[in-house]
C-alpha cells in the first residue's frame, strides 16, 4: 500500500511564502514523477508543477517565477516552495506520484489527502 502525506499548508498574507512537502511511503518500487495540483472552490483541479526523476520540471503559467518544485529521490519526497503568494493561489493543494508499487505492476497515479493554502490579509 502506498501513502502520500502532505504538510506545510496554512494561512499566509499576500506576498508571503509557504513551503509544502509530500512524502511517499509504503510499497514503492519506482517513482517516475511527482507533482502538485490544486483545486479552488467551484473550480476544476489543475496542475501547479511537476517534476520527473531526472529533474525535468513543468509549471502552470500562473505560477512560473513564483513557485519552485524540487525533489529528494532518496526520501521519495517532493517540495513546493511558493513565494509572492496571491489571493488567487488559495486552494487545496494535492500531491501526486506516478509510480510502480512492484516490479511486475503497472504504473499507477497515487494522490495525497490535500492541504489547504489560504492567502488572505
**pLDDT tens, residue by residue, 7-23:** 999 999 999 999 999 99
State pLDDT tens for residues 74-95: 999 999 999 999 999 999 999 9
> Which residues, 6 or more positions from 47, have their beta carbon under 8 angstroms from its beta carbon?
35, 36, 37, 58, 60
Residues making up the chain, counted from first to last: 121
Say if CB 117 and CB 91 are below 8 A apart: yes
Percentage of residues in the chain having pLDDT higher than 90: 88
> Which residues, 6 or more positions from 33, have their beta carbon under 8 angstroms from its beta carbon?
50, 51, 52, 53, 97, 98
Say if CB 2 and CB 27 are below 8 A apart: yes
Q: Give the dihedral sign, CA 28/30/36/39.
A: negative
For residue 102, pLDDT over 90 is answered with no
* Closest among 79, 73, 108 to 1, alpha carbons compared: 108
For residue 1, pLDDT over 90 is answered with no
Q: How far apart are the C-alpha atoms of 59 and 102, rounded to whole Å?
A: 29
Locate cell 518544485: which residue? 69
Give, as one character, the DSSP assignment of residue 116: E
Amino acid at each position: 500500500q502506498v501513502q502520500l502525506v502532505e504538510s506545510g499548508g496554512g494561512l499566509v498574507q499576500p506576498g508571503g511564502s509557504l513551503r509544502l512537502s509530500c512524502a511517499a511511503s509504503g510499497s514503492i518500487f519506482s517513482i517516475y514523477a511527482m507533482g502538485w495540483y490544486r483545486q479552488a472552490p467551484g473550480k476544476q483541479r489543475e496542475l501547479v508543477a511537476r517534476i520527473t526523476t531526472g529533474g525535468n520540471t513543468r509549471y502552470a503559467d500562473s505560477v512560473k517565477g513564483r513557485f519552485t518544485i524540487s525533489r529528494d529521490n532518496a526520501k521519495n519526497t517532493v517540495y513546493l516552495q511558493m513565494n509572492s503568494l496571491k489571493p488567487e493561489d488559495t486552494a487545496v493543494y494535492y500531491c501526486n506520484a506516478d509510480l510502480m508499487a512492484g516490479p511486475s505492476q503497472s504504473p499507477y497515479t497515487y494522490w495525497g489527502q490535500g492541504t489547504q493554502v489560504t492567502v488572505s490579509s
